[in-house]
Amino acid sequence: MSAWKNNNSSYGRISIIIHWVSALAVFSLFGVGLYMMSLSYYDPLYRTLPWWHKSFGITLFALTVFRLVWKLANPAPKPLSNHTQSTVLMAKLGHYLIYLLMFGIMVSGYLISTADGRGISVFDWFEVPALITGIEGQEDLAGEVHFYLAWTLVIVAAGHGLAAIKHHLIDKDDTLKRMIKTTE
């Protein structure tokens, strides 16, 4: 079981899997969201893609909540010895910003989808009810927020990835390796 949990020097398999599944989901949802904006009413994907987008968005929300609970129960490895206090602080702030943006996108997506009073079907397994409706311009306002937060998240996440690559190629430390492979 030790390879599944974080330890002082590396992330466990659960943290690694959640990280990469979340990254894939964020970038995929972003790409699909951009593509959906180009669809006309008569396009065959006009209704299908939003259904998938919402279902995976709700799934990512659940995964992100689980991820935060997992982080509380299973703290991250200690910072590497070559990381300065400012590096550690920037990493923490970057992670907090990513979570904040993700939740902002998810809430705004929920408000877009439920503005007309209908719930969100999640893979036709269950429905998330519309709890907040009737706000004047709700769909349009939430849509603007969703759009700009999504772009901001993708830019911040790309910066996060570039920072990890910088640590790997320039600093030659184990920052990136710790999120790819566990030590047993």
pLDDT tens digit string along 104-157?
Answer: 999 999 999 999 999 999 999 999 999 999 899 999 999 999 999 999 999 999
**The pTM is what?**
0.93
CA distance 124 to 28: 21
The strand ranges marked E within 35-165 are: 120-122, 126-128
Q: Which of 105, 111, 106 is CA-nearest to residue 149?
A: 105
Q: Are 127 and 120 spatial neighbours (Cβ–Cβ below 8 Å)?
A: yes
Condensed to tens digits (0 to 9), the pLDDT of residues 65-102 reads 999 999 999 989 999 999 999 999 999 999 999 999 99
Query: How far is residue 72's CA from residue 28's CA, in Å, rounded to a whole number?
Result: 27
CA distance linking residue 60 with residue 83, whole number of Å: 31
For residue 121, what are the β-bridge partners? 127
Q: How far is CA 142 from the centre of its chain?
A: 18
Q: Model confidence at 184, in pLDDT bands (50, 70, 90)?
A: low
Residue 67's nearest CA partner among 110, 15, 104 is 15
The pLDDT tens digits of the residues spanning 25-47 come to 999 999 999 999 999 999 999 99
Q: Please report the domains of the chain, with CATH numbers, ordered by start residue.
A: 2-178 (1.20.950.20)
Task: Give the containing element (helix H, strand E) for 151.
Answer: helix 138-166
